[in-house]
Structure 1
């Protein structure tokens, strides 16, 4: 599974912009120099190894998807105070690594190893961002937590007497926490469980969607994964079909160790879209946390009796995933998040004493197996021909309230239909 990466000659990409050819010299990933391949050399990609015709006018900038507005919301707690070095350092209690970007180069200080390859592929993704937009990512200094659970509690920083919260990046947050959300590591692949990088996986999912029509799919709710990482997932096991009850749910507990031994034959995501996954009034169908099984049963019954509406929800969700979460937007989200974060820094970042410089060669040339293959597959081949998409403005009070109300109203409507359905069934009994 190891990919060969010993090219010595840079390739060239030529693109016609407004009928004028542009040539970009792309530095290949060179792993042919033994131990030197595992070091970041002075002529690294981030500085001087590409050429672009400066006379070519840039293409029209596209607007970013609306969800980019949440970048402003995530950084809202520091809008007045700015971000000091002390705020950053306070986040090292749970951080797996500290990242500094200085003059287009990345440096990382590891505090503790992230679970599996989470930290590895997060840092790999950041390196690819620097290759995609060389010289455009500003200097910054941040802490990153690779665990799932957000830890910066909002309630601990309420009121004028409290100091501003520490700044901690991670993959998750909710309404009660202040972690800064960053794209998931698995966009670049998850080798431990054979999840392909998103560029390839999204194509597989699209093809899998075409293998069977909506009406041919099983009329059940479907979930597959590890139920033992959260209490809400353990509850879900109670909703599985049994000899006595059928809630319309098919729950499959995933044994990843067994899957690894058997070659992940039952873990192909693109082959699992054979069920009617009811996922909301627009993109998914909300399920009650405190009454999961009955709520799932109602959702399945509603979908089977409102097939066109259910199919429309599924199509909207698929369209969002495939069109608004493209890797182009993943990189642009990273770029804008880091850029807006950098604007808030009130000090000049410096390289920590225990930090090491990162570059694609240093990471990919020492990697093996699927990890190396996924890095090869996701290596950014050269600078983007276009600039990042244009950031939408922050939510105003009215527009933000409208978004929250729309979400609440959708949940209330689903609950209303569910309650009415059970009341009618009770009357018939």
Structure 2
């Protein structure tokens, strides 16, 4: 993480930092996007018990680092190395939140794991009102069997190792990439490009075009070592919006690629996922994406493309709904607001006043940027919050009631079952010919 022995300046905001007149900051009247309501569900295990210091420290073993925020300043105790610079850019993002909403982020103490797989299993904590509540642990994704708390991933502030820009400039590039090729003029096939990393991705490659079979898929293996040597010339995400359909399939767990794929105006063919991140629970099948069966990928993809090319207006609508969701509901303002509301509500559940851990180091934007180099330094400079927001955070909606949660679940399942029926009828008709 670089040299963390440097101390942060007494004046947290450096020369040139734009301080707005607090009396003229407007109060946001807009509601937060609907998916923010899942914050309530993610913190549900601790509503009755609260969060004690003992609970937090039980999450130390799997954690990459511990973060304490006191009086608007951040202190980090690092426990282990993680993949690439995930921890660096996650902490960087939190520091930018403190700059965006100075004095508004409450004191807190949390553990963060930068690896992929959720580890706090629900089966180990059946009684949420018992004295043995699960340890709160933040990470980038979770699943229906875990209590890990989902948080925006590091790549929103840039992924230096593979030259993916911070989210704000990248969103603009993706929007321009969409306009470069109209949907109707795109290749009428399904596109995927990525590294193998998992068995089901290797299995997906069986759906590629061959001499004997065309599953309507055009699939490419991403060799990051080769791409790095070539300067990532073939990996610009905005140049990959050239097919009418794009495939999303998880990697080792969830994949950061989902937001890039959904942003493309192309209809996303989403292979049955096992994991979710902080925003994907707000997506609806046949509204934002087309569901593809994990255990019958090739036939499912072939049908999706055939159906889509015969229902062009509907497919165009689905693609646009997804890219609008990404451009509007997932714009950087909302990413910061999600972080703000999640951390604020987490802080309210704490039953103790946090203190700075003995081995923690205070971090701030100045020391982190100064000790970085290359693309990491460039991306930090590009994603630095230049001054406090001139609006308040969006307004959170109340928790879902059980009936609404059931309605959401049933709506998703019914949409998926409907697509499966269409697919079944399609292949039965072909077999009769």
| Superposition TM-score, scaled by structure 1 size | 0.88
- Of the candidates 402, 426, 429, which is equivalent to residue 424 of structure 1? 429
What SS does the corresponding residue of 2:295 show, helix, strand or coil?
coil
Residue 137 of structure 2 is aligned to residue 163 of structure 1? no
One of 150, 164, 187 as aligned partner of 1:218? 187
Equivalence for 1:395: 400
> Which residue matches 1:185?
154
Kindly indicate whether the alpha-carbon contact (under 8 Å) linking 1:240 and 1:246 is maintained by their aligned counterparts in 2: yes
Distance 1:54 1:275, change over 3 A: closer
Deviation at 1:51, TM superposition (A): 5.0
Q: Deviation of residue 150 (structure 1)?
A: 1.1
Matching of residues 46-65 of structure 1 within 5 Å = 52-56=20-24, 58-65=26-33
Q: Residue in 2 aligned with 1:150? A: 118
Which of the residues 246, 252, 268 maps onto 2:236? 268
Post-superposition offset of 1:154: 1.3
Cα deviation code 1:331-368 (max 9, x no counterpart): 00000000000011111100000000000111001111
Q: 1:85 to 1:379 in 2, by over 3 A?
A: same
The C-alpha deviation readout for 1:370-423, integer Å capped at 9, x for no partner, is 101100011101111111000111101111111111111111111111111111
- Of the candidates 1, 7, 12, which is equivalent to residue 44 of structure 1? 12
Within a 5 Å distance, the mapping from 1:90-101 to structure 2 comes to 90-101=58-69
Deviation track 1:107-137 (CA, whole Å, cap 9, x = no partner) reads: 0000112211110000000000000000000
* Alignment match, 1:205: 174
Deviations 1:258-316 (A, max 9, x none): 00000101100000000112324111110111111111111111111111111110010
Question: CA 1:36–1:284 in 2, change beyond 3 Å: closer, same or farther?
Answer: closer
Q: 1:86 to 1:55 in 2, by over 3 A?
A: closer
Quote how far apart the aligned CAs of 1:52 are.
Answer: 4.4
Q: How does 1:92-131 map to 2 (within 5 A)?
A: 92-131=60-99
Residues paired across the two proteins, number: 391
Q: Which residue of 2 aligns with 1:283?
A: 288
Structure 1 residues 54 and 421: alpha-carbon distance in aligned structure 2, compared to 1, 3 A threshold: closer
1:78 aligns with 2:46: yes
Cα separation, 2, equivalents of 1:223 and 1:90? 40
Residue of structure 1 in register with 2:36 after alignment:
68
* 2:242 is the alignment partner of 1:237: no
Aligned to 1:133: 101
Gaps of 5+ in 2: 246-266, 269-284
Is the contact made by 1:227 and 1:237 (CA closer than 8 Å) also made in structure 2?
A: no
Larger Rg: 1
Separation in 2, partners of 1:222, 1:150: 29
- Cα deviation 1:30-69 (Å, max 9, x = unaligned): xxxxx999531222239xx875435436344311000000
Q: State whether residues 97 and 109 of structure 1, in contact with CA within 8 Å, keep that contact through their aligned partners in structure 2.
A: yes
Q: Say if 1:59 and 1:386, in contact at 8 Å, map to a contact too.
A: yes
Distance in 2 separating the partners of 1:299 and 1:156:
39
Matched, 1:317 2:285: no
C-alpha distance in 1, partners of 2:121/2:190?
Answer: 33
Q: Where does residue 279 of structure 2 map in the other structure?
A: none
Which residue matches 1:360? 365
Counterpart contact for 1:38–1:363, Cα < 8 Å: no
Q: Matches of 2:80 and 2:5 in 1, distance apart?
A: 25
- Distance in 1, matches of 2:28 and 2:229, equals 50
Secondary structure at 1:92 match in 2: coil
The DSSP-based 3-state class of the residue aligned with 1:91 is: coil
Looking at structure 2, the residues matched to 82 and 174 of structure 1 have their Cα atoms a distance apart, in angstroms, of 22
- Counterpart selection for 2:412 from 400, 407, 421: 407
